[in-house]
Amino acid sequence: MSDKLDKLIGGRYLVVRLLRQTHLCETFIAQDTQLPGNPLCVVKQLKPQSSEEFVLKTAQRLFDNEANVLYKLGSHAQIPRLLAHLQVGDQFYLVQEFIQGKDLSQEEIIPDNQQLWTEEKVRSFLLDVLKILAFVHKNNVIHRDIKPSNLIRRDDGKIVLIDFGAVKEITNMTLTEGQTNIDQTVVVGTPGYMPREQHLGKPRFNSDIYALGMTAINGITGFHPDQLPRDDETENIIWRDRAPQCSSQLADIIDKMVCANSSVKRYQNANEVLLALENPKPEDKTQKTSKKAVTSANTNPQKRTWKFWLGIIVTPIFIGAVIFSPRIWRAIQALNYYTEGNSLIQEGNAAVEKEKSNQKYEGAIIAFEKAIRIKPNFVQAWTNKGFAEGKLVRPLDKFASCAQATNVAPDFAEAWNCRGLARFDLQQYEAAMREYEQAIAVDPNFYRAWYNKGQAYLTMGQYQEAITATRRVLAIEPDYFWAWTQICQALYELEEYQDAQAHCQESLAINPQHQTTIDLLEKIDVKLQ
């Protein structure tokens, strides 16, 4: 990634900074050096994972087809224009209009201050995005990845729809060397926001309606869709109790948008939802009338007793407590559950009996889940839940929790490290390496990620690379005895016994009781005899 900074792509686009990175795609902010004023643009590099000729030719064909679609969609004022598409060697690049603004996940969805969306804001949001979708679907395109991070609110308040899933599909299609048939049903989308038919590789136009409805629920409740319960029979998400500010009219519309087990029962297109929003059914006024009658009966000025004046004094205090105390109380509750989870992990680590340890780890997971239910964006709780699941040898669960943590906070290095450890436990060593590298990109001084990267190299038999990575640990944390031992192990495998001995001795100088190092040193002494 860093080798592209300050360099030209295609002889024209000067990379300024990295915007987003995955192992399949890198997105940069760049300057167009061939236009007056060197305006900013977004350059997206798609990275096929195979250099096989057939795969690259197929990727080129798909890339050209999808670029033509994006050129056409860019005529809409709320979809970034595709400025160019080019191939440099075996790498493919899309150059798109730069949108000034922030994606919804950065400051609007589940913000730290817990200011949930009002009904008015949800309606405005839905109307804005549905009009974009109506245009997209009219052009026979399914977005396939609508979620908060793919919706940017411009400085003028309008929403812009970015990152069409078809481009991701091109990259996913080119993963396997030796392929002779490209699978056309690669699943593209984000768990929690995509419906059942999309999971099965059969997206429909109203799959986008489902994802948009889930995004609205995310904003109005403050909960990620995966954190909300579902009805056992219908599989529909249960959310109304967490959005008291939402009217039954709007809730009914959203429920129809996110109908889970039948796309037929869902709105079929964006125009149907627009019609429902713009022409709401009349509400039952009986309840409002009865409330008005009660109010009128109790406002006789001649009957204002001491109770009335006491109410005048006490009511503002009571209202203030209702408004402010729940928020503070919920934050305290979440922190208490998080602290409880951490304590249970420590008790599990200290327990001698495995059964007792496992009970403590299970208890920790429950405590972290309680914290997350209160504060879904509690990234540390997500991460430590993953570590507890790792203690119970559940690497898939561990990865899922830590992936959720990186979704909530992409700049939290510990979560990327946790993802790497889960990959390592699944024996996906190269994938683990990419996760560790992401942690290091977030925090170059995060020494545990350097150590884990070295461990992955060691496991793959790349001993010199293991030594190089692990030495970075010692440059940051010289007293981390595990690093001295890991270098000792790599040198032992390279049959450099004298140097290995010296490193093991350094480790024991820091921790004389470390049995793994003692055993390794004994093996080295045998070789040196």
Q: Is the pLDDT of residue 344 over 80?
A: yes
Active-site residue 145, yes or no? yes
Q: Please, which pLDDT band fits residue 64 given cuts at 50, 70 and 90?
A: confident
Say if residue 250 is in the same domain as residue 315: no
Residues in contact with 489: Cβ distance below 8 Å, sequence separation at least 6, in sequence order: 458, 500, 520
Say if residue 318 is in the same domain as residue 378: yes
Q: Could you tell me the CATH number of the domain that includes residue 138?
A: 1.10.510.10
| φ, ψ for residue 449, nearest 5 deg | -70, -40
Low-confidence winner among 10-24, 37-51, 304-318 (lowest mean pLDDT): 304-318
Low-confidence winner among 312-316, 339-343, 466-470 (lowest mean pLDDT): 312-316
Q: Which of 80, 98, 116 is the last residue of a domain?
A: 98
- Span 231-266, pLDDT tens digits: 878 889 999 888 888 999 999 999 999 998 777 889
- Number of domains forming the structure of the chain: 4
Residues in contact with 441: Cβ distance below 8 Å, sequence separation at least 6, in sequence order: 1, 18, 21
* pLDDT for 80: 93
Strand partners, 151: 161
Say if residue 256 is in the same domain as residue 138: yes
Q: Which of 389, 412, 435 is the last residue of a domain?
A: 412
Six token digits for residue 385: 């839940």
Q: Please, which pLDDT band fits residue 49 given cuts at 50, 70 and 90?
A: low
Say if residue 235 is in the same domain as residue 159: yes
Q: Is the pLDDT of residue 452 over 90?
A: yes
Q: Please, which pLDDT band fits residue 336 given cuts at 50, 70 and 90?
A: confident
Catalytic residue among 3, 90, 103, 145: 145
Q: Could you tell me the CATH number of the domain that includes residue 467?
A: 1.25.40.10
Q: Is the pLDDT of residue 175 over 50?
A: no
Query: What is the average pLDDT across 369-379?
Result: 87
Domain, as residue range, for 111: 101-175+188-281
In a domain, 33, yes or no: yes
Q: Is the pLDDT of residue 334 over 90?
A: no
Which of 391, 448, 400, 450 is CA-nearest to residue 423? 400
Q: How much of the chain exceeds pLDDT 70, in percent?
A: 80
- Span 482-492, pLDDT tens digits: 999 999 999 99
Say if residue 84 is in the same domain as residue 68: yes
Say if residue 203 is in the same domain as residue 345: no
Mean pLDDT of the chain: 82
Q: Which of 48, 82, 98 is the last residue of a domain?
A: 98
**Helices and strands in the chain: count of H runs, count of E runs:** 20, 9
H helix intervals, 119-265 = 119-138, 165-172, 196-199, 205-221, 248-257
Six token digits for residue 144: 């396939």
Q: Please, which pLDDT band fits residue 111 given cuts at 50, 70 and 90?
A: very low
* pLDDT for 312: 52
